[in-house]
Amino acid sequence: MRGVEQIPWLYDGLCRVLEWTGLERWRAWLVKGARGRTLEVGSGTGRNLARYDHALPLLVAVEPAADALEASKGRRGGALLVRASAEALPFREGAFDTVVSSLVFCSVPRPEVGLAEVRRVLAPGGVLRMLEHVRSEGRLGGAFADLIQPVWTKVAGGCHPNRRTEATVEAAGFELSERRANGSMRRFVATPR
Ligand SMILES: C[S@@+](CC[C@H](N)C(=O)[O-])C[C@H]1O[C@@H](n2cnc3c(N)ncnc32)[C@H](O)[C@@H]1O
C-alpha cells in the first residue's frame, strides 16, 4: 500500500515540520544512546542516520520500502542499507548491541513478530531504543484514534494511530526504562528480561 510513508519527498517535508516543532530533540536522544553494533529498523528515508556517533563500529539500516531506502543513500557514508522487514531480519542471533526504532512499530504489520526478531538479534546486554506514537490514554482521544484508524492507515501507508506499542513491547519480553511521554508520543529504552 503506497501512502505518505512511501513517498519520500512528502514524508521528508512532513518530518521537517515535526522536527522543527520538537521531534528533533527526541530523535537526538534516541540515537545519542546507541552503543556498539547498531541496527536501525524501519529507517525510512534515513532521517536519523547522520545523527549517529561516527565512532560506532557498525551501523546497519533496514527498511522494506525501496523508494525510502533509495532516498536514504548518501545520508550517512559507511552505513549499510538493507532492504528487509523487521519481521524477518536477515541477521544472526546476537548480532547487535543496540537496536533503534523511530515511528516504526505503528506500521509493522505484525509488531509482535518484529519485536521477537529484534530480541533475537540483540546480544546479551543489548538494548532497544524506541521513539513511537501510541494510542491516546484519554477515553476520547483513544476512541478518536480507533475511529480514524482505517482511513489514517490507508493515507499514511500502513501507520496505525491506535497501537498500544508499550504493552506490546513488554509482552515481547522487554522491560521499559527512561520512559518519557508527550501527548501520544513516547520514548523509552527496552531491555530484554
Ligand atoms: C513513519 S515511517 C518512519 C521512518 C523513520 N524511522 C523515521 O523516523 O523517519 C515508518 C517506516 O516503517 C517502515 N515499515 C513498515 N513496515 C515495516 C516492516 N515490516 N519492517 C520494517 N519497517 C517497516 C515504513 O516503510 C516506513 O519507512
Contact status, residue 97 vs residue 103, Cβ threshold 8 Å? no
Per cent of the chain over pLDDT 90 is 98
Range of the domain at 146: 4-192
What's the pLDDT score for residue 44? 97
> Ligand 1 within 6 A of 42 CB?
yes
pLDDT tens digits for 64-122?
Answer: 999 999 999 989 989 999 999 999 999 999 999 999 999 999 999 999 999 999 999 99
Beta strands in 79-155 (DSSP E): 80-82, 96-102, 122-133
Reference 164, options 116, 132, 189; nearest CA is: 132
Q: How many domains does the chain divide into?
A: 1
Average pLDDT for the chain: 96
Mutational test site, ligand 1, from 23, 62, 72, 107, max ligand atoms within 8 Å of CB: 107
What CATH number corresponds to the domain at position 175? 3.40.50.150
Among 12, 62, 63, residue to substitute to test ligand 1 (most atoms within 8 Å of Cβ)? 63
Q: Are strands 185-192 and 122-133 parallel, antiparallel or unpaired?
A: antiparallel
91 C-beta neighbours (distance < 10 Å), count: 16
Is the CB–ligand 1 distance for residue 5 below 6 Å? yes
8: Cβ below 6 Å to ligand 1? Answer: no
Whether 1 shows a pLDDT value over 80: the answer reads: no
pLDDT in tens, 126-158: 999 999 999 999 999 999 999 999 999 999 999
Nearest CA to ligand 1 atom 1: 103
User: Is residue 16 over pLDDT 80?
Assistant: yes
How many whole angstroms from 26 Cα to the centroid of ligand 1?
17
**Per-residue model confidence (pLDDT) at position 8:** 95
Confidence check: pLDDT of 52 > 90: yes
pLDDT band at residue 34 using 50, 70 and 90 as cut-offs = very high
Is the pLDDT reported for residue 2 higher than 90? no
